[in-house]
Chain A
Amino acid sequence: MALFRQTTWLLWKDLLLEMRRRESLVSMFFFAALLLFLFHFAFEFSTERAAEMAPGLLWLASIFTGTLGLTQLFQAERENHCLEALLLSPVDRGALYLSKFAFHLLLMCLMELFTFPLFGVLFNLDFWRLLPSLGLFAFVGTVGFCVLGTLFSAVTLKARARELLLPLILFPLMIPVILATIRGMEIILRTGELEEALPWLRLLIGFDVIFLTAAFLIFEWVIEA
C-alpha cells in the first residue's frame, strides 16, 4: 500500500508539473509530426509494400520521440536539488521508478494516439480496422521502451553528454523490442490476423515482465549512485 500511495503521489506531481510547463508533451508531439512529414517526403511506397515499410517507420518515429521525452524525464528533479529531497525522504526508490515509468508511458501513449492516425493519413494506409491489433503491439512495445528508457534515463542523469549517451546505451538494448514489435505489426498488416503474430507478442510480454521486474529491483542502486 505504501508503494502504491507513494507512486501515486509522485505520478500526480509529474502530471501536474507537465500540465503547467508542457515541456515534454508539446516537444514530443511536434517532433513526432515533423518526423512523419519528413518520412512522407522521403519515402513513397505502394500499398503492397506498406506492410513492410510502415511498422519500421512508425517505430522509428516513436523511438526517437520517446528518447526526446526521456531526456526530460528527470528534469524537475535536477532543478533545485529535488532529487536529493526525494532521496532524503523515506520514499521507496521503486516508487520513484514506477512513477517515472508510468508517466513516460502515458506521454508515449498520448503521442502514439496522435501519430498513428496521422501516419495512416499521410501514407494513405487503410489500416483502421486493424488498429486494435496494431495498437496492442504498439502498447506492449512502448511498455518495453519505457521500462528500459526510464532506467537508463536515471543511469545517465549526471552524465555530461546525456542527450548523446542515453540513445547510445538504450538503442542496442532495445533491439529485441524493436524487432518483435515491427515483425508483429508487419504480420498484422500483411495478413490482417493477430494469431500469426502471437509468438512475437509473447516475446514482447516476456521481455516487458522480466525487465520491468529487474529495473524495479535495481533502481535503488542506480539512483543512489
Chain B
Amino acid sequence: MRVVTRRLSKAYGFLWAVKDASLELHSGERVALFGPNGAGKTTLLKLLSALLSPSSGEIEIDGARLLPGSSGLRSAIGLLSPEGYLYESLTARENLRLFISLYARRREAREVAEALDQVKLSHWAEEYVSSLSTGMKYRLALAKWLLLEPKLLLLDEPYAVLDGAGVDLLEDYLERLCRGGGIVVMATHHVPAALSRCSRAIILDQGRIIFDEPRQEPWESFQRAFAAFLPRGR
C-alpha cells in the first residue's frame, strides 16, 4: 500500500488547521505523529480517513484519489479514536455484527467471539456499550478493527485511554498489521512509548509539518526538533 498526500490543506474559516502537508507512506511503516495541542494532528488523521474533505491538495492511495465517495478505498481505512464511534444502545456483539456487515466482511460468529476474547471483553459481549468504561469501549473499537482488517489504521491518542494490558494488546495488533504490509499512523502525546516503536516520526506545528524523518539511533535531530514542545524544566 502507498499513501501520498500532496500539499494537503484544511481551513476552518480563516484558520488553517493543516497547511501544505506532503507525505508519502509505505507498507509496513509505523508513523508517530507528534505536536502540541491544536497542531492539526486530529485534522490530518480525519483527512487521511476521508472524514474531512481537504480545502486544497489531494490524497492518493495506491494511485487512486481518495474522495468522500471512494467507498472501495474507505473499506481499507480504519480510525481508532477515543470518541468511540459505537452505538451506545447496541450490545458489544451487535456493534461488531453491524460494522462487519457494513464493511461487507464475511466473519463467522466464532471469529467475533475470538476478537472479543482477544480484547478481554468476552464477558461483556451482551452488554450495552453505554455500560462499558471508556477504556473498554476503546478495546471494543479495537476488536472491530481486528475483524475489519484495514490496511491503513489511524489512531488518535490510544495511550490516553488504555491500561497496561490494553496497550500490550494494541501493540501486538499494530505489529502484526505492519508486518502484514499495513500502515499505522498514530497521533499521540506519549512520546517515549510511541518513539520506541515507530519507524518514522512526524512533528506538526500550527498545521505544518516541521519534522519528518525515518527512525535513527541515536535520534538527535528529533530531540532537537521536539525540544521546543517539552514542558519547562525537562
Measured CB to CB, the residues of A under 8 A from B are 2, 5-6, 9-10, 13, 16-17, 20-21, 76, 79-82, 84-93, 220, 224
Q: A82-B87, A89-B103 are in contact. List 19 more A-B contacts (CB 8 A).
A: A6-B102, A13-B87, A13-B90, A13-B98, A16-B90, A17-B89, A17-B90, A80-B85, A84-B51, A84-B83, A85-B85, A85-B99, A88-B49, A90-B72, A90-B75, A90-B103, A91-B71, A220-B68, A224-B53
Centre residue among B50, B89, B99 by max chain A CB count within 10 A: B89
Residues of A within 8 A of B72 (CB): 90
Binary A-proximity of B184-196 (CB < 8 A = 1, otherwise 0): 0000000000000
B83 and A80 form a contact (CB under 8 A) = yes
Given A9-B98, A13-B90, A13-B98, also A92-B49 (CB < 8 A) = no
Chain A neighbourhood of B85, CB < 8 A: 80-82, 84-85, 88
Q: Are A17 and B71 in contact (CB under 8 A)?
A: no
Q: What is the size, in residues, of chain B's interface with A at 8 Å between Cβ atoms?
A: 29
| Contact residues in B for A86 (Cβ distance below 8 Å) | 102
* B57 CB–A CB distance under 8 Å: no
Closest Cβ of chain A to B97, distance in Å, is: 9
Is A89 a contact of B89 with CB atoms below 8 Å? no
Once A16-B94, A220-B69, A224-B53 are accepted as A-B contacts, the answer to whether A91 and B102 lie under 8 Å apart by CB is: yes
Query: When chains A and B are docked, how far (Å) is the Cα of A82 from the Cα of B130?
Result: 13
CA of A87 to CA of B102 in the docked complex: distance in angstroms? 11
Shortest Cβ distance from residue B107 to the other chain A in the assembled complex, whole angstroms: 14
B7 at the interface (CB under 8 A from A): no
Say yes or no: A88-B104 contact (C-beta < 8 A), given A17-B89, A80-B88, A82-B87. Answer: no
Query: Is the Cβ of B87 less than 8 Å from the Cβ of A9?
Result: no
Given A9-B102, A76-B87, A88 and B71 touching (CB < 8 A)? no
From A5, A16, A21, A85, name the one whose CB has the most chain B CB atoms within 10 angstroms: A85
In the assembled complex, how far is the CB of residue A2 from the closest CB belonging to chain B, in whole angstroms?
7
Contact A224 B68, beta carbon cutoff 8 Å: yes
- Cβ contacts under 8 Å, B84 to chain A: 80-81
Check: B44 CB closer than 8 A to any chain A CB: no
- Answer yes or no: B198 CB below 8 A from chain A CBs: no
- Any A CB within 8 A of the CB of B200: no
A-B contact pairs, 23 of them (CB 8 A): A5-B101, A5-B104, A6-B101, A6-B102, A9-B102, A13-B87, A13-B98, A16-B90, A16-B94, A17-B87, A20-B89, A79-B88, A80-B85, A80-B86, A82-B87, A85-B99, A87-B51, A88-B79, A89-B102, A90-B104, A91-B102, A224-B53, A224-B68
Contacting residue for B86 out of A6, A85, A89, A224, CB 8 A: A85
Option from A2, A82, A90 in Cβ contact (under 8 Å) with B74? A90
Cβ contact within 8 Å between A82 and B51: no
Smallest CB separation, B158 vs chain A (Å): 16
Q: Which residue of A lies closest to B79 (CB)?
A: A88
5 A-B pairs with the lowest CB-CB distances in the bound complex, closest first: A85-B85, A90-B71, A90-B75, A81-B83, A9-B101
**A87 / chain B contacts, CB cutoff of 8 Å:** 51, 68
Can you list, as one digit per residue, whether each of B44-84 has a CB less than 8 Å from chain A (1) or not (0)? Answer: 00000111010000000000000011011011010101011
